[in-house]
A and B are shown apart, each in its own frame.
Chain A
């Protein structure tokens, strides 16, 4: 089994993901994201790995040399168990209308430092959520009671 998301030497080429609707459907249901945001995209994977990636639909998939990555990692596991990555949400979830939390500047920095942020839960607390400022998406979070827990990578903010 190939472990995605960490530095690794590629051993299998990328191919189009068999189900091109699974991610748009998940995003529409949980985040209220219109499927049209993916109209110029294609979902790809490495056979044998559960991870899904998103690439430009004009990308030419090469197998020599074998790629380390193609486009952006969407989820390390397919829906419904998969968690959307923060880079995926930053790029595609600006138009999300469900499970969205908008933070002020102070809470935005707290969120990026992975410190908890106090919120009033909206929509469906079972879902991962889009966390943003008024102007741009910050990344992925999840709700635990009245606390917004950051799911952004630890390495993002230097100490």
Chain B
């Protein structure tokens, strides 16, 4: 009998009961304020007025957890870009990029644009972010995010990330790669579905190609952040292991207050490069979030 999504990873988690229980609970709704659009204090006041049980996210400024059933989509404040709904673990991945004002950043798989927006705001909307997605059908959501949040530093492109042109080199590149999305089970209710191995085998090749391309368009000394919302080591640590160590090193991620587990250096008898331990696994039960994987690479 093939494994379910969660049984496959029970040997990796520190508290199996807590992991399974967290995966059964609805995911909190997390929002952050956009200071380019309005004063975060105004956003906070409105949130607490509507949701007295709202909680600030301790590790991230101007970010709040709302009840899972909260609806803010038609709030004027949301419509005009004053706040953005984003899963907390996903926000962690965007913050690891650590975008700085004036830099050139590439978001290789950008749609719908949440991490693009994070980076633009971190830069004070000064500099260049190229927000790319290969799928024309996803460009509308990306353009809507850019417009709604008022981002003037963002250039939207539609190109196959695996073949992204190398004329421009970037200070930092984010590869938020397509994946099997096992970490979104709390959101999508995919708790008992078995992983599709054929799709996984296909997507792993895409992930490796995207990461290689990302490194090829990064300046020496620049940073590449690789992230997925899945638990599968094949799509996370194995992808990192496929990178030539002379091309990039995997660096520690500065603590941000979110509890993370280290990347795996061994899985089912296969041993991987030791610096993969610097990657971060976000397990749902550790912070009451979805699942995520983030690695920070330095282009050598």
Contact B74 A139 (CB under 8 A): no
Contact B154 A71 (CB under 8 A): yes
Q: List residues of chain A with CB under 8 Å of any chain B CB.
A: 7, 9-10, 40-41, 54-56, 58-62, 64-73, 85, 87, 90-91, 105, 108-109, 112, 133, 135-139, 155-158
Contact A90 B158 (CB under 8 A): no
Contact B153 A71 (CB under 8 A): yes
Q: Whole-angstrom distance from the CB of A57 to the nearest CB of chain B?
A: 8
Question: Which of B82, B126, B148 contacts A56, CB < 8 Å?
Answer: B126
Closest to A109 in B: B76
What size tier do the contact residues of chain B reach? 35 or more
A41 to B124, CA, bound (A): 12
A155 to B79, CA, bound (A): 10
Closest to B165 in A: A64
Contact A68 B168 (CB under 8 A): no
Highest count of chain A CB atoms <10 Å: which of B147, B158, B167 = B147
Contact B164 A65 (CB under 8 A): yes
Contact B79 A56 (CB under 8 A): no
Contacts of A66 in B (CB 8 A): 157
| Any A CB within 8 A of the CB of B24 | no
Interface stretch among B136-144, B219-227, B264-272, B286-294? Answer: B136-144
Closest to A69 in B: B156
A45 to B185, CA, bound (A): 43
Q: List residues of chain B with CB under 8 Å of any chain A CB.
A: 36-39, 42, 73-74, 76-77, 79-82, 101-102, 104, 125-128, 130, 132, 136, 139-140, 143-144, 146-148, 150-159, 164-165, 167-168
A137 to B37, CA, bound (A): 8
Contacts of B76 in A (CB 8 A): 105, 108-109, 112, 133, 138
Q: Whole-angstrom distance from the CB of B138 to the nearest CB of chain A?
A: 10
Q: What are some 13 contacts across the A-B interface (CB < 8 A)?
A: A7-B139, A9-B136, A58-B128, A59-B128, A59-B153, A62-B157, A67-B155, A68-B158, A72-B146, A73-B147, A87-B150, A136-B38, A157-B74
Given A70-B156, A136-B42: 18 more A-B contacts, CB < 8 Å = A7-B136, A7-B140, A9-B158, A55-B153, A58-B128, A59-B127, A62-B155, A62-B167, A62-B168, A64-B167, A67-B157, A68-B143, A71-B151, A90-B150, A91-B37, A136-B77, A137-B80, A158-B73
Contacts of A54 in B (CB 8 A): 152
A158 to B101, CA, bound (A): 35
A100 to B102, CA, bound (A): 33
A132 to B56, CA, bound (A): 27
Contacts of B101 in A (CB 8 A): 58
Q: Which 9 A-B pairs have the closest CB atoms?
A: A91-B150, A87-B147, A71-B152, A56-B153, A65-B159, A136-B38, A64-B165, A60-B128, A69-B156
